[in-house]
Structure 1
Amino acid sequence: MKKSSGFNNTKKLFIVITDVVLFHLSFVLSFLVRYDWNIPQFNYIAYESARPFIFLAFIFLNIMFGNYVMYNKQRTDFVYLTIIVQFFMSILIMAMTFFGRLFTFPRTIILISFIISSVLLTIWRLIVFQLYLKVDGTKNVLVIGDEISCKRAIFNINQAKNNRHKVTAVALDNYFENVQSSINHVDIIYIAKHIDEKVRTEIYELVIRNNKQLFLSTSFENLVLINPNIMNIEDESIIEINEFKISPEEDLIKRIIDFLISLAMIIVTSPIMIITSIIIKLTSKGPILYKQVRITKNQREFNILKFRTMSTTAERDSGPVLASANDTRVTMVGKYLRSLRIDELPQLFNVLKGDMSLVGPRPERPFFVEQFVNENKYYDLRHNIRAGITGFAQVYGKYASDFNSKLNFDLLYIQKYSLLFDVKIMLQTIKILFDKVSSQGVDEEELVNLKTEPLPDDIKILK
């Protein structure tokens, strides 16, 4: 079985170029609509002067918001992502017209182009996505590991937004022999658990020779190999493994950017924070702000600030409890504050002070940190950098995922760290406000069932 390799870089480049053409066309149509099909040359020249900057910003924002990554999307994603990007473009162009004379053209053009471009680009992207699904199809996956790791892999794949991947078989033992016998019936081999090095190498070779895809779990042994430094000593090339840290220079730049952006955001969001404070005070008893001890860089404790979303007696009888789906302790107003992430806004003051960063691992309470360290010896590595308001786990995981899953995201973030990566995460944080799944917590019953329920009947079990 051999399927198409999907949308390669050449096809993606064609999609980007078509995006730009449609965006340009939306501006031309906006001028035609605004001026009754008779465009004044002076106004259009202003647009032409700004066009290179507008197009570059357009491409950058679409890449940062992930509009050209399709494997983890569904149709509604392209609708709201397109509208979000076009809204940001409108704000950016208005800023250009305000600060630069060369960019001056009627702002009604910006409004009209926002509407036209949103419609044109949404239709185009839905067509492209439909072609993608048709060309690339569903990939059959063989999962390798013990029963628990295979169940977890199946659970995660089944929770995906689309049917891009389908687990058709699992190998619980005799891994190489089972891969060898199934290689022509699957597209992807997913190694979900650590296996013997000799067997793993044999599977690697078999997968590569048969032109199949290979998925690896984000175990510690795999995470350490991300972004290695390649050194040449005489006639030998050496792979140098990076520590789970960011350099002092990057940390300094990150801190300066955190300070400036948090200060600006406090000023911009101050009306929202004032209104929220009044609503909390009027709807429930207790303080407006909620302070709680958390752990940040170098195991240092600090008081995190949040708008209170729970009753004041939330943990009086139960003691410390992790957030979960449909948490009954949350107030009516608190549900909306959480879903819109408004409850996190006071943490901008934590960033300003230096306790937190805009992007980083979410800070956890000392009670749970001690518990998690006992369960996973690598958990302390996430404290090599400042805790963050948002992070990789918050963008790609769920609101209250299993701590091991969040740890993998956090360690992956540290290994892949760059300022551009921070920008991408901050922009994609806006996206998850429209994604209800990202606002949910862990359903503990589902996790228990994962361990006790048998493997699905429609999956072939290889032993």
Structure 2
Amino acid sequence: MNKHRYEWNNLLRFGAVILSSIVAIGCIYLSFYIKFLGDIPARNFSAFEDSYIWIFIGYIIINFLFGTYVFYNKSVLDIFYFTMLSQLVLNVYIMALTFAGSWLTFPRSVLLVNLFVGTFVLFIFNVLVYLLYQQLRGQKKILVVGESDRALEAVRNFSLMKNKRHKVTHVVLSDYLKHVEELADYVDIVYLTGYIPEEQRLDIYEYLMRRNKKLFISTQFENLMMVNPNIMNFEDESIIEVSSFEIPSEDNMLKRIIDILVSLVLTILTLPIMLGTAIAIKIDSPGPIFYKQERITKGEKHFNILKFRSMSVTAESDSGPVLAAKNDTRVTKVGKFIRSTRIDELPQLLNVLKGDMSLVGPRPERPFFVEQFKEQNPYYTLRHHVRAGITGYAQVYGKYSTDFNSKLNFDLLYIKNFSIAFDFKLLFQTVKILFDKVSSRGVDDEEEVSAQDEWSDFAKTIIIVK
């Protein structure tokens, strides 16, 4: 079998979810067997028999929201995290389901056993599916085409990917069309990044389409504009309407209702954690429990964001506003923990209830930095067309230290692709980054390596055409 021929498409992904849901139901049955040592009381098992179809459906929805079977940039460790978290959420869902359905004879002890049994068995199953994914897709060779600095950034990012599914083998830095024609047959994907003259870019598009070659393009603003267009017909005239960077009013109203309901529930559920955090902060260092800071949200409105204080009271008295750095000495002992676990963000649920923020959206920045970013990128204000969020696309898929332009691209993509289902998916996947130390780091202020040195390093493993 030619491993480059097949793709891990939606049909295969759906099949994997269905099979895993059957395995999950089997794990619950096994948990009953272990708990009762084979002698399962009929009254207890009948509650499971009456509710298993809803458990089946719930499992599929939970794993869809977590993106468990989206493997393109996952490691085996990621698979373990997603399996464990999906099982934890599934057991909570079953508790709520059996209560709502009056299946009260469903033993909670079985769910405790299932948390461990299901995580173990499904982790093995998911790893096997992951290995199948690798076998089907194979490693994709990439030709990066573009200006030196953007091409270097692309090569660096591909080299940092966790599972090495994509490997840059060739880089073109000039005479783009000529070299693409020469090298296209040696790669699986051509990635265009940075500025390429329009005439050459269109010729490259045409050439690759005729060759049926997969094409990646970067998230430059002109490309972002064309995401999620509206197609209209006027008699014989077909027109593409470019959608704006905003959430439709009816979706925005539903989003606000969900924000209020979910924030109320989360505030109640996390109240013990917040009380414990408040006591720990008070014991650890002098000063207030909460920290207020001016931020900017929808319509460039200024508001005070609420956080648990993680720094000393005099953190910026001398330096003025600065971005958080790796190994920041201003952070207290308790602050390090609540930052790494995102507990410091919990008071922002009150900002959501007040209407200054949403659960999901672009992270709000301080006015000092917003003015700087607006000067450097004229499209920065587009992110203020929606409410700022506690979490967002950039927080789930980027890193804490990702530069503001890359975060802006994530934010604009989020606005263009907005849906309530996408919001829930990001909320679920936010749980995973609590275990990801890379996502919690500040801006790394280590000595920078020159671009020339980096190109020299990459030249050992890829073909660079200048």
Cα shift at 1:454? 4.1
Aligned with 1:459 (options 453, 458, 462): 462
Structure 1 stretch 4-13 or stretch 63-72: which is displaced more? 4-13
Q: Which amino acid aligns with 1:227?
A: N
- The within-5 A match list for 1:243-258 is 243-258=244-259
Q: Which amino acid aligns with 2:347?
A: P
Cα shift at 1:434? 1.1
Answer whether contact 2:22 2:56 (CA < 8 A) is retained: no
**Counterpart Cα distance in 1 of 2:343 and 2:454:** 41
Structure 1 position 53 matched with structure 2 position 58: no
Structure 1 stretch 214-223 or stretch 247-256: which is displaced more? 247-256
Counting aligned pairs with the same residue, the percent is 53
**Counterpart Cα distance in 1 of 2:171 and 2:443:** 25
Q: Which amino acid aligns with 1:300?
A: K
Answer whether contact 2:3 2:136 (CA < 8 A) is retained: no
Q: Which amino acid aligns with 1:156?
A: N
Cα shift at 1:233? 0.9
What is the CA deviation profile of residues 133-157 of structure 1, one whole-angstrom value per residue up to 9, with x for unaligned ones? Answer: 2332221111111110011111111
What is the CA deviation profile of residues 357-379 of structure 1, one whole-angstrom value per residue up to 9, with x for unaligned ones? Answer: 11111010111100000000000
**Paired position in structure 2 for 1:318:** 319
Answer whether contact 2:3 2:138 (CA < 8 A) is retained: no
Q: Which runs of 5+ in 2 are unaligned?
A: none
**Counterpart Cα distance in 2 of 1:452 and 1:308:** 42
**Paired position in structure 1 for 2:449:** 449
What is the CA deviation profile of residues 87-116 of structure 1, one whole-angstrom value per residue up to 9, with x for unaligned ones? Answer: 111111111222222464222222222222
Structure 1 position 358 matched with structure 2 position 359: yes
TM normalised by structure 1 equals 0.96
Cα shift at 1:451? 4.1
**Paired position in structure 2 for 1:201:** 202
**Paired position in structure 2 for 1:4:** 5
**2:293 aligned counterpart, secondary structure:** strand
Answer whether contact 1:400 1:440 (CA < 8 A) is retained: yes
What is the CA deviation profile of residues 393-438 of structure 1, one whole-angstrom value per residue up to 9, with x for unaligned ones? Answer: 0000011310001100000100011111110111111011011111
Answer whether contact 1:98 1:104 (CA < 8 A) is retained: no
Q: Which amino acid aligns with 1:87?
A: L
- The within-5 A match list for 1:59-138 is 59-102=60-103, 104-138=105-139
What is the CA deviation profile of residues 149-189 of structure 1, one whole-angstrom value per residue up to 9, with x for unaligned ones? Answer: 01111111122112111111111111111111001111111
- The within-5 A match list for 1:210-359 is 210-359=211-360
Residues 194 and 103 of structure 1, relative CA distance in 2, 3 Å threshold:
farther
What is the Cα-based RMSD across aligned positions, in Å?
Answer: 1.7
**Counterpart Cα distance in 2 of 1:292 and 1:9:** 44
Residues 231 and 74 of structure 1, relative CA distance in 2, 3 Å threshold:
same
Cα shift at 1:261? 1.6
Answer whether contact 2:3 2:135 (CA < 8 A) is retained: no
**Paired position in structure 1 for 2:440:** 439
Structure 1 stretch 265-274 or stretch 452-461: which is displaced more? 452-461
**1:184 aligned counterpart, secondary structure:** helix
Cα shift at 1:86? 0.6
**Paired position in structure 1 for 2:390:** 389
Answer whether contact 1:293 1:304 (CA < 8 A) is retained: yes
Q: Which amino acid aligns with 1:384?
A: H
Answer whether contact 1:262 1:352 (CA < 8 A) is retained: yes
| Equivalenced residues, count | 462
Cα shift at 1:2? 8.5
Answer whether contact 1:49 1:103 (CA < 8 A) is retained: no
Answer whether contact 1:151 1:450 (CA < 8 A) is retained: no
Q: Which runs of 4+ in 1 moved over 4 A?
A: none
Residues 158 and 30 of structure 1, relative CA distance in 2, 3 Å threshold:
same
Structure 1 stretch 416-425 or stretch 105-114: which is displaced more? 105-114
